[in-house]
Chains A and B, each alone.
Chain A
C-alpha cells in the first residue's frame, strides 16, 4: 500500500521569504502522479502543483516549485516570495496511474507572518 508522510505539522515563514515543505512517500509503483494541494481557512481544496513521476524535470507554477527526487521518494514544495495569502494547510498527495485515487499526507500548516 502507498503511504504519504509529511513530517512537519506546522511551519512559519516571514512574508517575502522562501519556505520548503517536506513530503516523502512509499510505493512500489513506477508510474504515478504527485500533487500539492492548499487548503486555506475557507477549507476549499486548491491544486497548487502536479508532477508526473516519469518526468525528470521539476514542475513549477509561478512562485511554487517542487524538488522531486524519485529514487529517494521525496517531493518537497518550495514557496518563494511568501505572501500572506499563502497561509493555509498544505497536503502532499500520491496517485497511482490509472486508479484516480488520491492518498493524502497528514498536512502541514503554514503560517506566513507579516
Chain B
C-alpha cells in the first residue's frame, strides 16, 4: 500500500518551455503533498506544501510564479515549471501524506528535468 506515482520520470526540453510534472497517490487519499528539489549528491530541499483544494505554501526563496503547484483532487498534485531555463535543471521529487500531519510521507520516484 501507500504507492505514489510520479510522471514523467525524465524530461529533456528546450529553454523557455513550460514543463508539468504529475504526482498521484494510487491507493490512498493524499490530503497533503510536498514538492522537493534535489541537486546531484545533495539533500532534498522542500519547495512547497500543497493541501487539496487550497493554495500551496511555498518555502522561502521559491518563486511561486515560476513553480506553479495545483492540488485539485485528493489523489493528484501537479508542479509546472514555467518558462524553464538551464538553472531549473534538477531532480524533482514529490511526496504524499494521508490523514493527520503525523502520518509518514510516501515518496514518488522523482523526475529528472534537463533544460537545454
Contact = CB atoms under 8 A, between A and B. Distances in A.
A20 to B, nearest CB: 20
Contacts of A50: 104
Interface of B: 32, 34, 38, 41-46, 49, 91, 93, 95, 97, 100-105, 107, 109-110
14 contacts: A45-B44, A46-B107, A91-B43, A91-B44, A97-B102, A98-B100, A99-B101, A100-B34, A100-B49, A101-B34, A102-B44, A105-B43, A107-B41, A107-B42
A44 interface: yes
Interface of A: 33, 35, 42-47, 50, 89, 91, 97-107, 109
Contact of A44 (B32, B46, B49, B109): B109
Nearest to B44: A104
Given A100-B49, A100-B101, A100-B102, A43 B109 contact: yes
A100 B43 CA distance: 18
